[in-house]
Chain A
Amino acid sequence: MIHLYNVTKIYPNGVKALSDVTLSIRKGEFVFLVGPSGAGKTTLVRLIFREELPTRGQVIFNGKNVGRMRMVEVPYLRRRIGMVFQDFRLLPQKTVFENVAFALEVAGSGRRDIRKRVPVILNMVGLAGKAGMYPAQLSGGEQQRVCVARAIVNNPVLIIADEPTGNLDPETSWELMKLLMDINRRGTTVIMATHAWDIVNAMKKRVLALTGGRLIRDEEQGAYCYEA
């Protein structure tokens, strides 16, 4: 589903974030993206999401060259990818329900569709009783689940989670992981960039390790690193 061919990204300030990365991710996979800060994890995610363009090489998503995509196509690409952020990025003045509904509104869904779909998704992430609350009234784990709900409400084919457990305690982190696994079992591809080595080691999923912008390891059922 996702192919990167010899992708290099050099930012305008001269920083080389990725150099000559080639990799493939199949539909339905669960992939960890690991590596120290500044290794290029976020850049990789941004290239898939078309927030940045590759300096060299090609990024293919579902058979489309993301780098050559016209500006008007970008929104439709993004609707097929659900993003989960470390800092949640919820709108504080909107309720849980409205935050999730916002993703549908943006995609042009009708009101009836929204009223039908949002409760189903909130139920799925275990927030059925908190639809009328504001983000500030929720715990970190709950806020992150709202973020996941917003990411999946449009039925994306891919979920990208950029350090989703970064602001959560271990117990809530595991609840979130169960949720992501659940979503993955329903057929959605999941890419998760993370520092949480214990989670990576315990899950035994595919691991892509980046260091200094290079892909140094790609193994099925991998661990965070050998020493750990």
Chain B
Amino acid sequence: MKLNIVGYYFREAVQSIWRNSWLSMASIGVVAVSLFILGSSLLLVLNVNSMVGALESRVEINVFIKDKTTPAQIKEMEEGLRSMPDISEVRFISKTQALEEMKEKFGDKKEILSGLEEKNPLPDTFRIKTASIEMVQPLAQQIEGLPQVDQVRYGQNVVEKLVAFGRWVRLAGLVAMILFAIAAVFLIATTTRLSVYARRREIGIMKYLGATNWFVRGPFLLEGMLLGFLGSVLAVMVIYFGYFSLVGTIKVSLLFMLTVTDPGLILPVLEGLVALGLIIGAAGSTISMRKFLMV
């Protein structure tokens, strides 16, 4: 008996999608476009996040200490830094160590630096790693204010730009997606409203025969959800094949890192898109039916 009704819903829904095929295609298209935008910006954010994560472990704050600081003060300062919650690692590099490092970097031209051992111009340094990349800038500013600190250096530009880029992509993607989703909801509402209108006589008779509201709504709800589903499947297919062919080309040229290729991370995004397509469809048909069913 229940199966019977589902069969009836499907017959009616498919029939009216077919009857309004142009508008149905437009609805599917708009759903696909909006979900495509959402999906690609989500994937971009995913990649930016993973890049930020990869850089996070590399971005350090270099804290140069004033020349006449005593070892005791340095020790005290190190403890102070270690006790800060956002700092994950503190490494002390003395003047001599710094010079050794520099010599290593110069390789076979290290004679240039000879003689500097007597009067080493390099300062003692703390190298600090933070728990998250967003904390780099505020921490650097905080540390700069400490009395023994001469200067603070970190990869200002890279960090700021990356964080800002991630934020911007997220925002732009969200705004575009919301606008398109609203358009999609209303287009689906228009499509289902047409089929509600085409069958208003039938709806009236159904009411007289004692149909429940859900029985009357069923086919229209299903129609909207089918449109949303088809649109989302279209978007998912374009994103899926587009993304992996893009990853393929980029890996060769190495211009930009698309690091996320793990299906475990991408599949939830795609599934979410399909679910959203269904929700958009259901919302659209619900809007169109509200007026008509008050008997």
Give chain A's interface residues, CB within 8 Å of chain B: 49, 51, 71-72, 75-80, 83, 89, 91, 102-103, 105-111, 150, 154
Chain B interface size band reads 10 to 19
**Known contacts A91-B201, A110-B1; is A83 also within 8 Å of B208 by CB?**
yes
Other A-B pairs beyond A78-B210, A91-B202, A102-B206, 20, CB < 8 Å:
A72-B212, A72-B213, A75-B210, A75-B212, A75-B213, A78-B209, A79-B209, A80-B210, A83-B208, A89-B201, A89-B205, A91-B201, A105-B4, A106-B211, A107-B210, A107-B211, A108-B5, A110-B1, A111-B4, A154-B210
Please give the distance in Å from A92's CB to the nearest CB on chain B.
9
Query: 17 A-B residue contacts at CB 8 Å?
Result: A71-B213, A72-B212, A75-B211, A75-B215, A78-B207, A78-B209, A79-B210, A80-B210, A89-B204, A91-B205, A102-B206, A106-B210, A106-B215, A107-B209, A107-B210, A108-B4, A109-B1
B8 at the interface (CB under 8 A from A): yes
Residues from chain A with a CB closer than 8 A to the CB of B202 are 91
8 A-B pairs closest in CB distance = A79-B210, A78-B210, A106-B211, A106-B209, A75-B210, A75-B212, A103-B209, A110-B1
**Known contacts A91-B201, A108-B1; is A77 also within 8 Å of B295 by CB?**
no
CB contact list, B1-39 vs A, under 8 A: 1, 4-5, 8
Considering the chains assembled together, what is the distance between the CA atoms of A98 and B165 in angstroms? 62
Considering the chains assembled together, what is the distance between the CA atoms of A152 and B161 in angstroms? 75
Considering the chains assembled together, what is the distance between the CA atoms of A150 and B206 in angstroms? 12
Residues from chain B with a CB closer than 8 A to the CB of A72 are 212-213
Considering the chains assembled together, what is the distance between the CA atoms of A58 and B215 in angstroms? 29
Considering the chains assembled together, what is the distance between the CA atoms of A111 and B6 in angstroms? 13
Considering the chains assembled together, what is the distance between the CA atoms of A110 and B202 in angstroms? 20
Would you call B212 and A102 a contact (CB within 8 A)?
A: no
CB nearest neighbor in B for A71: B213
CB nearest neighbor in B for A153: B209
Please give the distance in Å from A80's CB to the nearest CB on chain B.
8
Considering the chains assembled together, what is the distance between the CA atoms of A43 and B8 in angstroms? 34
Considering the chains assembled together, what is the distance between the CA atoms of A79 and B207 in angstroms? 10
